[in-house]
């Protein structure tokens, strides 16, 4: 078995980087404190999240903690460059004081990790994900294969070298599609993947059928990102990061909610537990920016959901018949 995060429930850093709306430093640090008090010991961030803001906020909290007590992951692929009030269309709110350029070379990988360590003020990073090297990245689109080739020559060998040197414990890809994950396993020796948007109650078949068997065969693992579809499964009026509702997702949400109401199950709880159930999943990293959200997520991992609820979802075709489901709470 390759390296895995210390806890099944982690904390994702999108909201802490002002994803979707502005949050105060105070609220984000309180969310970090609540996560720690709930036993969370895996924290995932990225230079991309708020263009450095998420890393700074997470590091401010973690820098005084015992480094051996928690798992920390961040990402490479974008080098941040100082920029006064950078204008960027997307999910990041508030003032952005950095621009970015893509760099998947060996030198860029080292540079990015060193920059992240300085932003966070911590001594080491456990897991490094090659970030957003995927066909859904609007900056890349069909050109993502060229960036992948650059990473295969540069970032991947460099991360293997850093793992062998003991500078990191594991590396992989952090992406929203399965194609880069499959391709990475063909050409290199990754340990772990952060797969966002691909394993939820709404959509999970591709990861379940095409990726999980290969990951299990190699002793690797999956970190599930966006298990609530960026809030869609917890009542937020948005679905993931595209700014629109794909065909059929609202109807599926209504069907899921109907059955959840029938069994008096909190749909957010069911969504989190569903994403955590497969044995190849080493952690689930829902985002949070407040104490309340963190505590609700932790409580969801303690609940036991009736087996008949899961059988009904399978019987009605709302989840795959071979999808693993929990038998009891996780905490």
Q: Which two tokens stand for residue 86?
A: 């950078």
Residue 170's DSSP bridge partners are 127
Residue for token digits 């399978």? 314
Q: Which of 42, 61, 70, 75 is catalytic?
A: 75
**Angle between helical axes of 291-300 and 267-276 (0-180°, round to 10):** 60
**DSSP readout, 161-229?**
HHHHHTS-SEEEEEESSSHHHHHHHHHS---EEEEESSSSSSS-HHIIIIIHHHHHHHT-EEEEE-TTT
CA–CA distances in Å: residue 144 to residues 157, 244, 278: 19, 23, 29
From the list 331, 327, 205, the residue with the least C-alpha distance to 277 is: 327
Residue 286's Cα: distance from chain center in Å? 7
Q: For the chain, give percent helix, strand, coil, nearest 5.
A: 40, 15, 45
Among this protein's residues, is 49 annotated catalytic? yes
Q: Which of 42, 49, 100, 147 is catalytic?
A: 49
Among this protein's residues, is 241 annotated catalytic? no
Q: Which of 44, 103, 126, 191 is catalytic?
A: 44
Among this protein's residues, is 199 annotated catalytic? no
From the list 2, 12, 56, the residue with the least C-alpha distance to 297 is: 12
Which of the residues are catalytic? 44, 49, 75
């Amino acid at each position: 078995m390759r390296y895995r995060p210390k806890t099944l429930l982690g904390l994702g850093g999108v909201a802490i980087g002002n994803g979707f709306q502005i949050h105060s430093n105070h609220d984000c640090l309180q969310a970090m404190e609540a996560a720690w008090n709930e036993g969370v010991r895996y924290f995932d961030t990225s230079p991309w999240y708020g263009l450095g803001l998420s890393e700074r906020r997470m590091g401010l909290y973690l820098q005084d903690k015992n480094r051996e007590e928690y798992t920390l992951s961040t990402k490479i692929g974008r080098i941040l460059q100082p920029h006064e009030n950078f204008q960027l269309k997307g999910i990041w709110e508030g003032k952005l004081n950095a621009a970015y350029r893509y760099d998947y070379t060996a030198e860029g990988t080292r540079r990015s990790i060193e920059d992240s360590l300085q932003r966070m003020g911590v001594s080491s990073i456990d897991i490094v994900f090659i970030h957003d090297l995927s066909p859904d990245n609007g900056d890349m689109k069909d050109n993502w294969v060229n960036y992948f080739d650059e990473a295969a020559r540069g970032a991947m060998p460099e991360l293997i070298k850093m793992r062998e040197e003991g500078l990191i414990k594991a590396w992989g890809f952090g992406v929203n599609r399965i194609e880069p994950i499959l391709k990475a396993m063909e050409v290199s020796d990754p340990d772990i993947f952060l797969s966002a948007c691909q394993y939820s109650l709404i959509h999970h078949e591709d990861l379940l059928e095409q990726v999980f068997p290969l990951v299990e065969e190699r002793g690797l693992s999956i970190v599930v990102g966006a298990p609530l579809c960026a809030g869609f499964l917890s009542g937020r009026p948005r679905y993931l990061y595209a700014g629109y509702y794909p065909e059929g997702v609202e109807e599926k949400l209504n069907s899921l909610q109907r059955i959840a109401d029938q069994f008096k199950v909190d749909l957010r709880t069911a969504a989190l537990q569903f994403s955590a159930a497969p044995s190849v999943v080493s952690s689930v990293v829902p985002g949070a920016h407040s104490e309340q959200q963190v505590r609700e997520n932790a409580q969801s991992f303690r609940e036991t959901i009736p087996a008949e609820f899961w059988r009904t979802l399978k019987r009605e075709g709302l989840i795959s018949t071979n999808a693993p489901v929990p038998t009891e709470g996780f905490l």
